[in-house]
Homo-oligomer: A and B are copies of this chain.
């Protein structure tokens, strides 16, 4: 199987990730931060080490401001709902995933006002449109870093500057960028950073996190046992405990830390450069094929390793089925949980066939993919 579905989840993971998860499970799979015995403490320390690695990667001062979650959607819900109250205004974009738009739509019923800035046909957002949408009651700007549909890289540093200037919180959805593209929460004025563990960071499923900037009093969505201040029936007011009720995914978080170690060891720039080269070549070659339409900025300076295509007017699911069935190539068709982004680029009816590459894809695999598209485009 050739796996071109890395935007959904990265696969495979580095072997050291598998090994570290197994080691935790088999040797010290206790409940971290609960009991005080050796196994629990060892796992607790390693979870803290993952916090430190994340902090290092994103230039976060305090590792305790990193909240572990179930997945990026979990993090986004916490970030969005924790900060917005009735009467607040929030600005977002038409390129967002449903993990941003659906929580916002749910909040709309509770009296929260939403402005959705529209992207252009390549999925690009004009920062001027964001700045002009700011009102007196604007409390939050939330945008993706990289579109999961078109791979479009958003100008998050510029948006961060705008947010900073107007004293508005900025929440970045780094679902497609964390672990591959540079993110510096201080330089980019990011107040809240949501990201999955199982995509670019090369950790396992069942992991995600939210960075919460200093002094942000985010409402927690859940309460429960935290292993701390246990004599009180009130949720503790300290980070990360306030937001991390119940047993965490210990082995998963250690696996996530190992994924980050792998990235730091290989060099994130090297990994990104590899993906950029694959992407550049794929875009160049596929664009030449008759009947194939490629979406996005089509320039690796503006487009990450996410490349949506269509062949003629064929349904995207049909093409993906052929790729899977006859070529053993895994891609993702349909709407990618981003209906408004599809409307933005004009593919809401047809969907797209999304190719997304990862660190373990090779040029040879890209060649095979291109060849398959060439053949299919002749036959349909």
Contacts and interface: CB of A to CB of B under 8 A. Distances in A.
Contacts of A249: 70, 204-206, 249, 252
Interface in A215-272: 221-227, 230-235, 245-252
A207 B105 CA distance: 28
Interface stretch (A27-35, A120-128, A134-142, A283-291): A27-35
A306 to B, nearest CB: 13
A45 to B, nearest CB: 15
Contacts of A18: 22, 25-26
A188 interface: no
Contacts of A93: none
Nearest to A225: B337
Interface residues of A, number: 86
A333 interface: yes
Contacts of A70: 69-70, 74, 206, 246, 249
A350 interface: no
Interface in A57-87: 69-74, 76-77
B11 A222 contact: no
A335 interface: yes
Interface stretch (A48-56, A94-102, A157-165, A368-376): A94-102
Given A198-B247, A317-B36, A331-B35, A222 B73 contact: yes
Contact of A248 (B98, B205, B348): B205
A378 to B, nearest CB: 22
A31 B335 CA distance: 15
B13 A30 contact: no
A159 B27 CA distance: 40
Contacts of A74: 70, 222, 245-246
Interface stretch (A2-10, A177-185, A274-282, A293-301): A2-10
A-B CB proximity, top 8 nearest: A73-B246, A206-B249, A225-B337, A102-B223, A73-B224, A8-B31, A99-B224, A35-B332
Interface of A: 1, 3, 5, 8-9, 11-13, 18, 21-22, 25-26, 29-31, 34-40, 69-74, 76-77, 97-99, 101-103, 105-106, 196, 198, 204-208, 221-227, 230-235, 245-252, 317, 320-321, 323-324, 328-340, 348
15 contacts: A5-B30, A8-B35, A13-B29, A22-B22, A25-B204, A72-B247, A73-B245, A73-B247, A98-B224, A102-B245, A196-B247, A205-B252, A227-B337, A231-B348, A232-B339
Given A36-B324, A102-B224, A224-B337, 18 more contacts: A9-B31, A11-B29, A18-B25, A25-B204, A34-B332, A37-B323, A37-B332, A71-B248, A76-B224, A99-B224, A99-B245, A106-B223, A196-B246, A204-B252, A205-B247, A205-B250, A230-B335, A233-B340
